[in-house]
Structure 1
Amino acid sequence: MVVHAMDALYGSETPQRGDILIRIQGAQDQGGLGPISQVFTLLTGAAPENGFQGLGGQHARNDLLRFEPASGDAAGPFTFERGDTGKRITVSYDPSCIPPRPEMGAHLQQILQGSAEAETKEAFRSAWRERVLNILADGGQSTVTVTVIHEST
C-alpha cells in the first residue's frame, strides 16, 4: 500500500520521509489497523502523538499519523498527504479478489475451539501461508486502489 501511495504522491521524485501526513479511518485497536499503522510509520516516518518531536523545532514527525472516526463499522481508506504540496490521495486495500481456500473457515473454527487435530492445524497453516504468498505476489495490483482527491498546489 505504501509503495502505491508513494508512487501516486511523488511519481519519479524521491519521497520525503517525515513530510507525509497519514490519516487512518478507524480506531487504533480496530482489526489490523494498529499493526498496519506501525508499518506506515516505519516506511514514511509519520508517527502518532508519541513520535519524534524533532530537533530545535525541525523534523518533527509526531502527529503525522492520525486515527480518525470511521463512517460505519468498517475501516475506511487510508489518506496520504504530501506536506510540501498538499497533494492528497486515498489508498484502499481489499484482498477479497484472492479468496482463501473454502475449508479455511471450518479449520479456523476447530482450531479456536481447541478441537482441531494436528492434520487440520497443518492444513490451515498451509492454506493461510498460500493465501499470504498469493497476496504478496499480487503486489497490490488487484488488492490496492489509489484515488487522487486533491492535486498539488
Structure 2
Amino acid sequence: MLITIWWVISDGDTTSWIIGVPTVAATLWWSLRQPSASQPLPRLIGLIRFIPYFLWESLRGGIDVARIAFSARIAMRPHFCTYILNLPEGPARRVFINAVSLLPGTLSADIRDERLLVHRLRSGPEDNHDLQACERRVADLFGFSISPMKTRS
C-alpha cells in the first residue's frame, strides 16, 4: 500500500525511489511500532534483514507477472491454494499477508480463521515453499519462533 502511494505521489518517476524506498521502509517501521494491545514490535535487526528480501521479492514478482502476461509460451494455470498460518494474529500476520501478494504470481485472496486463501497464476512442485520462506522471514522480523509449517493445496 505504501509503495503504491509513493508511486502515485512521485508520478511514477523511478528516480524518486532513491528517497522512496527509505521513506516507505521508515514509515512501515514507524507504523508497526505504534503501540497495540501487547503486540510484539519489529526488531531493528529483523528489519535490516527483511528489507532486502522484500525488495528482491517485489522485483521478482513484478518481472514474473509481466513475463507471464506478455508471453504466449508460458501457460497460466490460475488456481487457489490454502495456506495454514503459523504467525499469531497481529502486526506480524498482517505484514505476512500483505507480503504474500508481492511474491511471484501470488495474491492473498481471503483469510478465514488460521487459513489464508492464496491465488496463484501457476502451480508447481514448490507450491507454498515461497509462502513458508516468507512467513519465516516475517517471523524473524518480529523475533518469533514458529512451528513446522503445514500447508494444503
Band of TM-score, shorter chain: under 0.3
Higher strand proportion (structure 1 or 2)? 1
TM-score normalised according to structure 1 size: 0.25
TM-score normalised according to structure 2 size: 0.25
Which is greater in Rg? 1
